[in-house]
Amino acid sequence: MSDARGFTLLECLFAMAIFGVAMLGVIGLQIHAIRTDGETWRQDKASQLLSAWAERVAFSGYDSPDLYSGRDTEIDYFIQSVKENTVTDPLVQWMGGVVSLYLGFEVSSGSPKIRRVCLVAAWDSVKTGERKTRHRLVVKPQNIWQ
């Protein structure tokens, strides 16, 4: 058998084992890349919703009934409630609730009245499963031009 050429069965098994371990690392990287892509996609959609609705709020009337329907609340409490997923009435849901947009507002008691409008976009993280949020605050003073 000293002049036999080729690989033994044992050499082939070792080569396949090394290749298998290397492929596990590549598969792990692919799964991580897919999750990261999904997370980035949700963050991007949340930012788009925030920008679009912040512009809509900025150009709406002070007493616009489609935007201000009984959500007068303290802003910090509202943001925390959205993070804890205790707010149940989103203003907009995108892709069946993948990203949801919530609107809360706070009216000052002085004159002129100032309405602080808080838009909060929320989604469930693909990576961690926890609730992630982004928010934007729009300040609308009531004046004679609106």
What's the confidence (pLDDT) of residue 71?
Answer: 67
What's the confidence (pLDDT) of residue 61?
Answer: 76
What's the confidence (pLDDT) of residue 146?
Answer: 47
What's the confidence (pLDDT) of residue 35?
Answer: 83
The full set of domain ranges for the chain reads 9-141
CB within 8 Å of 7: residues ≥ 6 apart: 15
Q: pTM for the whole thing?
A: 0.72
CA atoms within 13 A on the CB side of 131: 16
Q: What is the mean pLDDT of each run of 10 residues along the chain (146 residues)?
A: 72 92 91 86 91 86 70 84 87 86 83 81 88 89 58
